[in-house]
Amino acid sequence: MSIERTLSIVKPDGVQKNLIGEVYRRFEQAGLRIVAARMIQLSQAQAEAFYAVHRERPFYKDLVHYMISGPVVVQVLEGENAIERNREIMGATDPKKAAKGSIRADLAASIEENVVHGSDGPDTARTEIGFFFAQSEICPRKR
Ligand code: ADP
Ligand code: MG
């Protein structure tokens, strides 16, 4: 295991349902540190670019529409095994299949409106962090 960074997003449904604190509480309780954070309204172009990997999927257009339906909160999480740890805290994409006690099992409405995004591997984490944050905006904590 090593100290990793990963990109997390509280999606528009999470912000709308006042779940920012609840999501952050779960990250912090799990020992992940929030080392950068910002609230933004994504443009259509930004949402399209961020999810470009899903361009050919049938749900792509809806996904972009959903992601620009309201503000999101983007954050960088840092900690031991942060990428996989965050995916565990989030739960599976479909809340019906997500592990009990995960964010999506407890708080998500559907496979689309599922409260959070999290990078799925080291390469995506690096790209996705760079999509939202300059190096100077990331504030590693004293250990
Ligand atoms: P994850 O967010 O768990 O990494 P994916 O990368 O597969 O999941 O998909 C990105 C996002 O697209 C999902 O979080 C969800 O909002 C949406 N999505 C994925 N699969 C579907 C689907 N079958 N129908 C509708 N929306 C979907
Ligand atoms: Mg994904």
Both tokens of residue 100?
């009990």
**DSSP letters for 24-41:** HHHHHHTT-EEEEEEEE-
Q: What is the mean pLDDT of residues 6-17?
A: 99
Instruction: Work out which ligand 1 atom sits closest to the CA atom of 113.
Output: 16
Judge whether residue 1 has pLDDT over 80. no
- Told to judge if 65 belongs to the known catalytic residues of this protein, a careful annotator would answer no
Ligand 1 atom, smallest distance to 120 CA: 4
Q: Is the dihedral of CA 78, 83, 85, 89 positive or negative?
A: positive
Q: What is the pLDDT of residue 142?
A: 81
* Pairing, β 33-40 against β 72-80: antiparallel
The whole-number pLDDT of residue 140 equals 87
Catalytic residue among 74, 87, 117, 129: 117
